[in-house]
Amino acid sequence: MTEKPIFELKINQPNWYEIDVEKFSKATMSDLAHLLSPMRVAENYEFFEVVKPFLKIPEKPKTLEELSQELDKKFDDLLIKTKRKFSVSQQSAEYHYNQKFKKITDNFEHMKKWGDFPRITLVPNGSNYLVANSAGSLTWGTEFNLNPSKNSVGYYYVEPNLKINMTKTPNIIVRFFMDKLLGFKWVNAK
């Protein structure tokens, strides 16, 4: 009589099947990829270098020294880019600064040569414009009328030719101080 063992060691062994060559020859590439994915290739396989690009070979983890060197290189590259951007910004600012002062210097050279600033138009508006005359002072080219309105009750008149129309008459105190402090004379419309 044979004795039964006290415990049995059961190992779940998978069932293995052979590949049918006829079916294998008709398979698509995606089917072949699924079929070949459980395969493993050893480094001593004679065609290892040929199939190496298709293998999942884990990379060796980087050491702290290698990570430190990479980080230092990134910081150096960032520092170089930042310095380059600051340099370009400084050159741009210097260029614009020089252009502005060249224009100012050219205006003064024109004044020294001809005795007045070059004729400039500051506020083009139809026939109304503000110009620099030969004496160097600013004058209005024609009468300049601010807030023209049919409901105007009067206007402030400013020398030489400026009118500021108002739809409501200011009180006597406002008119007095506008005249004495700013030189704005009140004129009633009627």
Q: What is the pLDDT of residues 85-135, one digit of tens each?
A: 999 999 999 999 999 888 888 888 887 887 776 655 444 444 444 444 445
- Domain of residue 179 covers 130-188
* Number of domain units in the chain: 2
* Residue 86 counted as domain residue: no
* Residue 107 counted as domain residue: no
* Residue 83 counted as domain residue: no
* Residue 70 counted as domain residue: no
* Residue 169 counted as domain residue: yes
* Residue 43 counted as domain residue: yes
Burial class of residue 28 (count of CB atoms within 10 Å of its CB; 0-12, 13-18, 19+): exposed
Q: What is the pLDDT of residue 91?
A: 95
Burial class of residue 153 (count of CB atoms within 10 Å of its CB; 0-12, 13-18, 19+): middle
pLDDT band of residue 22 (cuts 50, 70, 90) is confident
Q: What is the pLDDT of residue 11?
A: 66
pLDDT band of residue 164 (cuts 50, 70, 90) is confident
* Residue 143 counted as domain residue: yes
* Residue 176 counted as domain residue: yes
- pLDDT at position 24 over 90: no
Q: What is the pLDDT of residue 176?
A: 93
